[in-house]
Amino acid sequence: MRPVNRVKSSAMAALLVLAGCGQHSAGDVTEARLLADKGDSGNWLTGGNGWRGMYYSGLRGIDASNAKRLGLAWQYDLNQTRGQEATPVVVDGVLYVSTNWGHVAAMDAETGKELWTYDPEVDGQWGRYACCDVVNRGVAVANGVVYVGSTDNYMHAIDAATGKRLWKVDILDAEARAKHMPYTTSGAPQVAGDVVVIGNGGADYGVRGFVRAFDLKTGARKWTFWAVPHDPKNGPQERPYLDAALKTWDPQSDWSKGGGGTAWDGMAYDPVLKLLYVGTGNASPYNYLDRSKGKGDNLYLASIVAIDPKTGVPRWHYQTVPGEYWDYTATAKMILADLKIGGKTRHVLMQAPKDGFFYVLDRATGELISAKPYTYQNWAKGIDLKTGRPIFNPDANYMKSPKLVYPSMIGGHNWYPMSYSPDTGLVYIPVVDAPMIYVDIAKRPIRSIPGAFTSAGLMVEDYDPKALQSMFGDLPVMADLARTAGGPGKPASQGFIRAWDPVRGRVVWQTRARALTEGGVMSTAGGLVFSGDITGHLNIRRADTGALVRSIDTGGAIMAAPMTYTVKGQQYVAITVGMGGAGNWLFAPDTAGYKYGNEGRVLAFKLDGGPVPLPKPVPPARFEAPPRPPAFLAAEAIRGELLFTRKGCSGCHVPGRGLVPDLRRISDATHENFNKIVLEGAYASMGMGSFADIVTPGEAKAIHAYISREQLALYKQETNPTQAKSAPARQGPRQ
């Protein structure tokens, strides 16, 4: 992590912020202003552009007739090389964007000139618990203040004019902080009335999910919504609603791993109904039999919950997957819209979560209006509209034997924002059609340990019987399952942008993505749909047909949703660039990360702008000198290979070019300091915290032996490939 602590003088920053902004002061976003904004003001006041979170703009200056003239207006270097998932916010000519760990930058939206930057001074030890990279999904701006959560679980309030800290408060309780419970914060805060709300991640590592609200002005803690009950042996539940939730868990449930239900992304707030909507995540542990004896709905896992923002008490909930055990979170972004259904205008909440169904709910009552599959899925035979419950398919239950299940853990749609255009009446969804072989690992050689998942999912394209033999034993049934993927009636792994009619519940058009998924989506009144991809292209399509209008090579992989705004009558389109996240640690040869590296940037485009300067290509990796690892025994390296997967090393350190180092190429100095790094946290400031709580010195020695063996094999392969017979570096199950 490289600091970006460059705060300009207060007077200069304030002068730049206020220039050309009329009557508004810096960061002047109020509830009244959000209610009045129709999306065509030239601002982009929230991550999703307004309280409805539609990722839609009413601006028309860029359309299909002139989009080919789009060129670069300016670019800004974020000084980070990890994943970029934040959509910028623009308020009166100032662009605010967050980046890794919770850093924030403000810049002149016309020129990209830096106004200020903010360093959250993160304790890098917490990066170890970021299952899907140390990303940050955005800021909230309200009443002159910029709010951001940092990876180490603090909420920060920053003066929008100067970049100076107003307050910083702990999101965690004292016990969770002292014990370093594996929480992380990556989602954008949500302003809801007089409070700012934040959730957390960590269910994959064994925590109890919650959402916490803080006073906008002072940071004082106002309330906590717990997503699941605590062990009743530890005393009364914190809130009465948890007593009712407890009845949906088996009395002999395993509470040792927290239960899960973390709210790590999707939230929305309706200022008319005064309701805060929160999407909750997966179970911890995944295994329904281990967690709750296979009994009960396990509230509030995988649920959309409407909460009173003054009290933190739920008003209604809808659980998408009762008894969740496929990692089918309900944390995707939610869109608040008004749809004409059955001749009546309905005020709805729409979500396309991981499980593959597109849900339309009455946002005042939680009534299920419709639920149709937007992608191929086989875990349910459908959703009963009378009860709102899924009709489970027993063929997707992997508790007794491995199963091929659609969608995968990645989900039919993950966190990447979808967009709704009131002009076309369509929702544009970045969709993944992909299966996964699910395995109950509790009864397999790879055991559940702190810091590891409690079930495994193997993407079919990653299936390698030889590599998996050491992890799962002889499971010929898995090979049989892998061969059925993409067979009759089952799609092969592929990504799409799909235009979905939420009223009729059907696909209107689709266009295949260059990779397994495209990034977040924006639609505009100019009749266009914008999205990026991992090959580094910003793609512009017609909103009515999906026809490609323009594709701009940016030289950087794109995950975040684009946005648009105006300054002095000129319309701009901006995007953050940078790859990261689960399943994306390794850059494939056709990706921008592989070709150019992963320098995070903000790029702004305008009509008749210039070409995008591509980064310098990354030269092929090679050894400068023969590696000199310590001596090791062959048997020790074999043991280390098992531990490399079981202790979670393979979750980040994959062979090849990627976000984090390929350990086959570590230096002699790293060999010498191996134990200091792994057991003492010498690289904690870079996100590689100490693993001493789950790795013994003997196990560290074995892991080091395995890495050394693989390094020597790679060196031999590269220097004398005709004679090399290297053991391939193994990648663990994708999670």
Catalytic sites, residue numbers: 327
Q: Looking at the DSSP assignment, which residues form a beta bridge with residue 521? A: 531
Q: How far is CA 139 from CA 86, 98, 522, 557, in A?
A: 8, 6, 18, 21
Q: Minimal CA–CA distance to 285: which of 272, 298, 274?
A: 298
Q: Which amino acid makes up residue 701?
A: K
Closest CA to 159 of 11, 358, 372, 366: 11
Q: Are 254 and 285 in contact (CB under 8 A)?
A: yes
**DSSP assignments along 623-652, one per residue:** -SS---PPP--HHHHHHHHHHHHHTTGGGT
Quote the CA–CA distance of 135 and 191 in Å, as a whole number. Answer: 20
581, two tokens: 């996240």
Give the residue among 273, 229, 270 at the shortest CA–CA distance from 251. Answer: 229
Selection from 202, 169, 204 nearest residue 187 by Cα: 202
Please state, in angstroms and rounded to a whole number, the distance separating the CA atoms of residues 322 and 301: 7
Torsion of CA 236, 237, 238, 239, to 10 degrees: -120
Exposure string for 485-497, b = 16+ CB within 10 A, e = fewer = beeeeeeebebbb
Cα–Cα distance between 166 and 598 in angstroms, integer? Answer: 32
The rounded distance, in Å, linking the Cα atoms of 144 and 25 is 7
The crossing angle, in degrees rounded to 10, of helices 634-646 and 465-472 is 80
H or E segment to which residue 471 belongs: helix 465-472
**Angstrom distance (rounded) from CA 110 to CA 103:** 21
Q: Of 244, 254, 331, 345, nearest to 291 (Cα)?
A: 254
- Give 233: exposed, middle or buried? Use CB within 10 Å, 0-12, 13-18, 19+: exposed
What is the rounded distance in angstroms from the CA atom of residue 47 to the CA atom of residue 55? 8
Residue 149, H or E segment:
strand 145-150
Cβ contact 201:266 at 8 Å: no
List, in order, residues 6 or more apart from 300 with CB less than 8 Å away: 227, 228, 245, 261, 280, 314, 317, 319
Q: Which residues pair with 507 in a beta bridge?
A: 500
> Encoding tokens for residue 337?
């819209």
Token readout for 200 is 């957390």
Closest C-alpha to 684, from 156, 180, 77? 180
